[in-house]
Amino acid sequence: MATKVAVIYYSATGNVYELARAIEEGVKEAGAEVRFRKVHELAPEEAIKSNQGWSDHALMTEDVLEASMDDLEWADAFIFGTPTRFGNVSAQLKQFLDQTGGLWFQGKLVDKVVGGFTSAQNPHGGQESTLLSMYNVFMHWGAIVVAPGYTDQSIFEAGGNPYGVSSTTHDEGPNEQELAAARYYGRRVTEKATALAASRV
Ligand SMILES: Cc1cc2nc3c(=O)[nH]c(=O)nc-3n(C[C@H](O)[C@H](O)[C@H](O)COP(=O)(O)O)c2cc1C
């Protein structure tokens, strides 16, 4: 049976979305079944409408399904993405994570394999602190965090973040190096989840 991976993200203006799509490609290359999901938007319509990039992206992704607790139960592995917001996880993704109390209580997130990705405006704008903040939640779940480390040349070429995949906002979205690191990371998390599942049989 194919490994099941959920790529779950929040993106206002599309940078995290593009990383998420590249991660999805890597997950598929590694042979997994994937659910590609955005989390529910919390911002008011007026705020979205006041920003062209935000409203364009919302329209472009209106057909992407919203993530649910069922996706977490279904998946063997999750890879979560968020924009960096003051060096932290966006409220939208955090709100989704904060709904996992029931699954956590039932032990249903224990030993799931998990990874993270983010995008920030500045090269040192808090990518690592955002990822580490997100990972606090995963440790409470008893999940198994698979970081990229320095396990592939693509990680060095994307800026050398060993905590998770990250990008620095560019006019055209993540660059080729960052997208290559994202594809690699999708494969890596999937391969670890597959190996873990095989060891349980
Ligand atoms: C409220 C808010 C807080 C932000 N905080 C940071 C930050 O701490 N560091 C940084 O470099 N960029 C920060 N940014 C910029 C975003 O992280 C960056 O533009 C990101 O690439 C957006 O991703 P998205 O296009 O997927 O929405 C912030 C943006 C907003 C709206």
Q: How far apart are the first and last CA of the chain?
A: 12
Is the domain defined by 4-200 classed in CATH 2.40.110.10? no
26-63 pLDDT, tens per residue? 999 999 999 999 999 999 999 999 999 999 999 999 99
Ranges of each domain in the chain: 4-200
Evaluate if residue 170 carries a pLDDT over 80.
no
HEC sequence for 145-171: ECCCCCCCHHHHHCCCCCCCEEEECCC
Evaluate if residue 201 carries a pLDDT over 80.
no
**What is the predicted pLDDT for the residue at 133?**
98
Nearest protein Cα to ligand 1, atom 8: 86
108 burial (CB, 10 Å; 0-12 / 13-18 / 19+) is middle
Q: Show the ligand 1 pocket: residues with CB < 6 angstroms.
A: 11-17, 83-87, 119-122, 125-126, 169
Phi/psi for 168 (5° steps) reads: -110, 130
Q: What is the mean pLDDT of residues 7-16?
A: 98
Give the integer Cα–Cα distance in Å for 64 and 48: 17
101-144 pLDDT, tens per residue? 999 999 999 999 999 999 999 999 999 999 999 999 999 999 99
Which residues, listed in sequence order, are joined to residue 115 by a DSSP beta bridge?
79
The rounded mean pLDDT for the chain is 97
Phi/psi for 84 (5° steps) reads: -75, 125
Nearest protein Cα to ligand 1, atom 23: 83
Evaluate if residue 171 carries a pLDDT over 90.
no
**What is the predicted pLDDT for the residue at 200?**
81
Evaluate if residue 1 carries a pLDDT over 90.
no
**What is the predicted pLDDT for the residue at 96?**
98
**What is the predicted pLDDT for the residue at 100?**
98
Nearest protein Cα to ligand 1, atom 19: 121
Ligand 1 pocket mutation, candidates 169, 175, 178, 179, criterion most atoms within 8 A of CB: 169
